[in-house]
Amino acid sequence: MKKFFALLVILLAVAGYAYAVGMDNYYYTTVDQIFDAVNPGAYGSYKCVNTTTETFKDYENKMRTRKIKNTCEVVRLKTGTKIYGDCGLGTAEIIRRIKAGKCTFEKDTSVIYKCQKGYSICRVAKYADGTASASCDTKYKDGSVQTELNKTGEDVQEILRTWWCTTKF
């Protein structure tokens, strides 16, 4: 019986991971579809407001209405980050609204550097406000990889000063 439950836990963990990876890929594909349809090659953030009116009965059984306001956010940054904030609109409707000028666009003005030192590679983003962040991978001889995300401050400045860096975007 213990073996059965252990196997069940493992299967549920694998299924949950597969679902999460699948959803991640779905959102990445959706973001790329939207950007490719309206602004190929662009990096930034689209925000579309979606307001709906809902009718309902209150506790006195009277009909009431209320407005529900959601913001759809579709983000594709030079760092590789992709975000799709689901707001109840389909991909085609978001594309239609963007093309009609009903959404705002904020361009990603960051500069991306690829830096290398030994077996370590970092992707550094310098932002318009002067801040910077980095994500680094170190590959070891045994084939393993150590990833460090969201380095900031002096660590990033040292990478830019002392490592070999090239501009990516």
pTM (2 decimals)? 0.59
Bigger pLDDT: 17 vs 101: 101
Q: What is the pLDDT of residue 20?
A: 35
Q: What is the pLDDT of residue 10?
A: 38
For 99-114, write each residue's pLDDT tens digit: 999 999 999 888 889 9
Give the rounded percent of residues in the chain with a pLDDT score beyond 70: 82
CA distance linking residue 82 with residue 74, whole number of Å: 8
For residue 57, give both structure tokens.
């009965």
Q: Is 169 in a helix, a strand, or coil?
A: coil
Residue 147 has pLDDT above 60, yes or no: yes
**169, 135, 138, 163 alpha-carbon torsion, rounded to 10°:** 60
Confidence of residue 169 (pLDDT cuts 50, 70, 90): low
Other beta carbons within 10 angstroms of residue 116's beta carbon come to: 14
Residue 2 has pLDDT above 80, yes or no: no
Q: What is the pLDDT of residue 132?
A: 86
Residue 3 has pLDDT above 50, yes or no: no
Q: Are strands 120-126 and 111-117 parallel, antiparallel or unpaired?
A: antiparallel
Q: What is the pLDDT of residue 101?
A: 92
For 105-138, write each residue's pLDDT tens digit: 999 888 889 999 988 898 888 888 888 888 888 8
Mean pLDDT across the chain: 78
Q: What is the pLDDT of residue 105?
A: 92
For 63-91, write each residue's pLDDT tens digit: 888 888 888 889 988 877 788 877 778 88
CA distance linking residue 87 with residue 70, whole number of Å: 6
Other beta carbons within 10 angstroms of residue 43's beta carbon come to: 19
